[in-house]
């Protein structure tokens, strides 16, 4: 990678916060609930992986997991991977694998800003893939050392 901003992406990032601002109301909500956990990895070969889970996901009562428990676990998960490309102040994720097949084959656009060892990624105004509400989702990540 030749661009300095592109090189700054390389590594593993831990989720600090995920806020959704609904449009046009401006209401802000915690995107993945309290205690959400997430990791984002960008590699030098131009590949990325993201895994985020709600902090309030309920642990299944045992194995096998019931259909209701499995549905709850799935709804509390965002995971995808693919190629990425940095263009100006945007990073594009070209999804070729996803926990939710509706994302597979899609292009996920994010605006970015670095602040020391922190990275803020924000979506354009568009429907939230979890519930369809028009919003901007903004996630703050910290570089894992």
> What pLDDT, in 10s, does the model give residues 50-84?
999 999 988 899 999 999 998 988 888 999 999 99
Whether domain 4-143 has CATH 3.40.50.1000: the reply is: no
Confidence of residue 1 (pLDDT cuts 50, 70, 90): very low
Separation in Å, CA 17 to CA 9, 45, 64, 94, 95: 18, 27, 32, 23, 23
Q: What is the pTM of this model?
A: 0.91
Between CA 136 and CA 142, with CA 139 as vertex, the angle to 5 degrees is 165
> What pLDDT, in 10s, does the model give residues 27-57?
999 988 899 999 999 999 999 999 999 999 8
Neighbours of 139 (CB within 10 A): 24
pLDDT for position 144: 98
Gap between the Cα atoms of 79 and 12, Å rounded: 15
Confidence of residue 129 (pLDDT cuts 50, 70, 90): confident
Separation in Å, CA 97 to CA 19, 44, 93: 24, 19, 11
Gap between the Cα atoms of 86 and 55, Å rounded: 30
pLDDT for position 39: 98
pLDDT for position 75: 87
> What pLDDT, in 10s, does the model give residues 92-111?
999 999 999 989 999 999 99
CB 18 within 8 A of CB 139: yes
Say yes or no to pLDDT of 130 above 80.
no
Percent of the chain with pLDDT over 90: 76
CB 32 within 8 A of CB 54: yes
Could you tell me where the beta strands, DSSP code E, fall in the chain?
11-22, 28-30, 37-42, 47-53, 77-87, 90-98, 107-115, 118-122, 126-127, 134-143
């Amino acid at each position: 990678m030749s661009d300095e901003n592109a090189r700054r992406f390389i590594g593993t990032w831990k989720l600090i916060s995920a806020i959704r601002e609904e449009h046009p109301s401006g209401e802000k909500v915690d995107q993945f609930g309290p205690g959400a956990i997430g990791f984002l990895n960008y590699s030098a070969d131009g590949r990325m992986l993201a895994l985020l889970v709600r902090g309030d996901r309920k642990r299944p009562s045992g194995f096998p997991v019931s259909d209701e428990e499995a549905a709850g676990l799935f709804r509390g998960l965002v995971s995808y991977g693919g190629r990425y490309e940095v263009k100006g102040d945007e990073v594009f994720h070209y999804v070729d694998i996803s926990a939710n097949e509706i994302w597979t084959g899609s292009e996920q656009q994010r605006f970015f800003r670095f602040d020391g060892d922190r990275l803020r990624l924000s979506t354009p105004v568009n429907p939230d893939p979890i519930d369809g509400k028009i919003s901007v989702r903004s996630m703050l990540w910290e570089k894992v050392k």
